[in-house]
Structure 1
Amino acid sequence: MLQDLEYGRLENEFRNILPAEEDIVVCFRGSSALLDRNDQDELHLPSYGEVLAWAEANHWESWNGNKVQYVFRMQDKNYFIWWGEAGESADPAYAYEDTRMLRQLVSKNICYAIMTAWHLFDWYRSNRFCGRCGAKTQHDAKERMMRCPQCNQMIFPKIAPSVIVGVTHGDYLLLSKYANRSYTRYGMIAGFTEIGETVEETVAREVMEEVGLKVKNIRYYKTQPWGVTGGLLLGYYCDLDGEDDTITLDREELAMAEWFPRNDLPAHDDGISLTREMIRVFEEGKEPQ
């Protein structure tokens, strides 16, 4: 999957450090990231030296007077985010690409870094002011936390749990497509956990809401961080409860949903997403029982 790096791992411990010229800076404008995609479809991110030169030349604005914020270390490199909405680069090789559409195999490590950096960028820009008293917040010096200097509220990054559900009926798997979204590939039933419910209850509720089916034998498979939505995806398989497999589609959420046999699935593992890995696991007959 996306987070399965060739070497090293994403070291998410907070470090209160200043950038070196060669450190990586992820720059966002809206939900798009500034990157270089070469002829071999490889992705590259700019260094702090490059970003600082562009920012000074093109008068990029930043929040609270800071230029960059350390976010994590990955594969022997320190990563920072530009502390504000980034402007144009002076290098024509770099362009902004929508993080929500950034899914590719050649540079999985860069995709993973961008998605995780986006998760933190979105959290930072949403918490520049205290939600309790309205004062301007400050970054804590010891841990990844925004602190209000007036009421002392401590604000930590928000992680939203959500489920990916492989609904099975014997040798059939339920696949679906979202309605009214730019992502049009096959997927599985999904949704966020709501207040006061267990993840297993989320699985049963989402399946009932989206396709009108009851399920049983809910079993855990694996997780995947998904920074684009600020979420942690929890993969589950479950079985149809009963023999009536008639689908009642929620057309506001889904464009289609259909049962597909194990030996004729229309989607396969892409090496990136938990959803596609779970489809492959079912195809191979290796799903947890």
Structure 2
Amino acid sequence: MLQDLEYGRLENEFRHTAPVATAKVVCAQGSRLLVRRKEDDTLVLPTYAEVMAWAKEKGWTHWYENEVQYVFRMQEEDYFIWMGEAGAPADTSFCYEPAMTLRQVKSKNICYAMMTAWHLFDWYRSNRFCGRCGAKTKHDEKERMMRCPECNNMIFPKIAPSVIVGVTHGDRLLLSKYANRSYTRYGMIAGFTEIGETVEKTVQREVMEEVGLKVKNIRYYKTQPWGVTGGLLLGYFCDLDGEGEDITLDREELAMAEFFPRNNLPAHDDGISLTREMMRMFEEGREPK
């Protein structure tokens, strides 16, 4: 999966460090990320040197080193985020791409780094002011936390738990497609955990809400950080409770849902997502029983 790095590791411990010229910097406009698309269709982030060169050329006096926040280190490279809204760079080889396109990055290491950096960028951007009293927040000196100097409100990175559910009926797996979304590939039932709810209850509720089916024998598979949505995905398999496959589709959420036989699944592992790995586990008969 995405987080199973090809080499190196993610060093996400908080620390104070100044950017060097080759450090990678996440810049964004709205929900779009500044990247360069290379000839082989891979995406790369700008370096700190490139970012500061654009700032000098455009006379962006608001670009200062103390507005670039260190986030983590991966593959011997430091990653930073620009805390404000970036403008268009002078270098036309760079452009803004929707954050959701990050999953198309060919290198798993780079994809993982970009998604994780985006997760933190979105959190920092959303918490520049205190949600309790409205004062401007400051970064804590010892840990990754925004602190309000007026009311002492402490704001930590937001991580939203959600489930990916592989509903099985013998040698058949329930697959679905989202309705009214740009992502049109096959997936599985998914949804966020609600307040006061166990993850197992989330599994039962989401399956009932989206396809009108009861499930049993809920068993855990794996987790995956998913920075584009600020989430932590929890993968579960479960069995259809009963013999009937009569699906009642929530058409606001799903365009279709259907049980497919183990030997004829219409989608395969992409090496990136938990959903696709779970499909492969079922296809190979290696899902938890």
- TM-score normalised over the length of structure 1: 0.96
Q: Would you say the 8 A contact 2:31–2:99 is kept in 1?
A: yes
- Aligned residue type for 2:47: S
How far off its partner does 1:67 sit? 2.6
- Aligned residue type for 1:194: E
The aligned counterpart of 1:94 is: 94
The aligned counterpart of 1:137 is: 137
Supply the distance in 2 between the matched residues of 1:37 and 1:171 (Cα, whole angstroms): 42
The aligned counterpart of 2:78 is: 78
Change (3 A) 1:64 1:34: closer
The aligned counterpart of 1:107 is: 107
- Aligned residue type for 1:132: R
Kindly indicate whether residue 204 of structure 2 is the aligned counterpart of residue 204 of structure 1: yes
The aligned counterpart of 1:185 is: 185
The aligned counterpart of 1:234 is: 234
Q: What's the CA shift string for 1:230-271, capped at 9, x where partnerless?
A: 000000000000111100000000000001000111000011
Change (3 A) 1:105 1:150: closer
Supply the distance in 2 between the matched residues of 1:173 and 1:99 (Cα, whole angstroms): 30
Is there any run of 5+ residues in structure 1 with no aligned partner, and where? none
Moved more, 176-185 or 104-113: 104-113
How far off its partner does 1:73 sit? 0.5
Supply the distance in 2 between the matched residues of 1:181 and 1:60 (Cα, whole angstroms): 37
Supply the distance in 2 between the matched residues of 1:255 and 1:59 (Cα, whole angstroms): 49
Task: Say which SS state the counterpart of residue 13 (structure 1) adopts.
Answer: coil
Q: Would you say the 8 A contact 1:62–1:84 is kept in 2?
A: no
Supply the distance in 1 between the matched residues of 2:58 and 2:149 (Cα, whole angstroms): 33
Spell out structure 1 runs of 4+ moving beyond 3 A.
Answer: 59-66
Task: Say which SS state the counterpart of residue 112 (structure 1) adopts.
Answer: helix
Total equivalences in the alignment = 289
The aligned counterpart of 1:260 is: 260
Supply the distance in 1 between the matched residues of 2:113 and 2:60 (Cα, whole angstroms): 22
- Aligned residue type for 1:281: M
Task: Say which SS state the counterpart of residue 110 (structure 2) adopts.
Answer: helix
The aligned counterpart of 1:282 is: 282
Supply the distance in 1 between the matched residues of 2:94 and 2:183 (Cα, whole angstroms): 24
Supply the distance in 2 between the matched residues of 1:5 and 1:11 (Cα, whole angstroms): 12
- Aligned residue type for 1:166: G
Moved more, 171-180 or 2-11: 2-11
Q: Would you say the 8 A contact 1:24–1:79 is kept in 2?
A: yes
How far off its partner does 1:55 sit? 2.0
Supply the distance in 2 between the matched residues of 1:78 and 1:239 (Cα, whole angstroms): 44
Q: Would you say the 8 A contact 1:21–1:49 is kept in 2?
A: yes
Kindly indicate whether residue 40 of structure 2 is the aligned counterpart of residue 27 of structure 1: no
Moved more, 105-114 or 161-170: 105-114
Q: What's the CA shift string for 1:151-176, capped at 9, x where partnerless?
A: 11111001000000000000000000
Q: Would you say the 8 A contact 1:212–1:248 is kept in 2?
A: yes
Supply the distance in 1 between the matched residues of 2:46 and 2:101 (Cα, whole angstroms): 20
Supply the distance in 2 between the matched residues of 1:130 and 1:45 (Cα, whole angstroms): 30
How far off its partner does 1:129 sit? 0.9
How far off its partner does 1:63 sit? 9.1
Q: State the Cα RMSD in Å.
A: 1.5
Q: What's the CA shift string for 1:42-94, capped at 9, x where partnerless?
A: 22221111111112322458699943100111111110011111111122211
Kindly indicate whether residue 49 of structure 2 is the aligned counterpart of residue 49 of structure 1: yes
Task: Say which SS state the counterpart of residue 102 (structure 1) adopts.
Answer: helix
Q: Would you say the 8 A contact 1:99–1:114 is kept in 2?
A: no
Task: Say which SS state the counterpart of residue 263 (structure 2) adopts.
Answer: coil
Is there any run of 5+ residues in structure 2 with no aligned partner, and where? none
Supply the distance in 1 between the matched residues of 2:84 and 2:108 (Cα, whole angstroms): 25
Q: Would you say the 8 A contact 2:2–2:271 is kept in 1?
A: yes
- TM-score normalised over the length of structure 2: 0.96
- Aligned residue type for 1:254: L
Task: Say which SS state the counterpart of residue 49 (structure 1) adopts.
Answer: helix
Q: What's the CA shift string for 1:89-132, capped at 9, x where partnerless?
A: 12221111111122235222222111111111111111111111
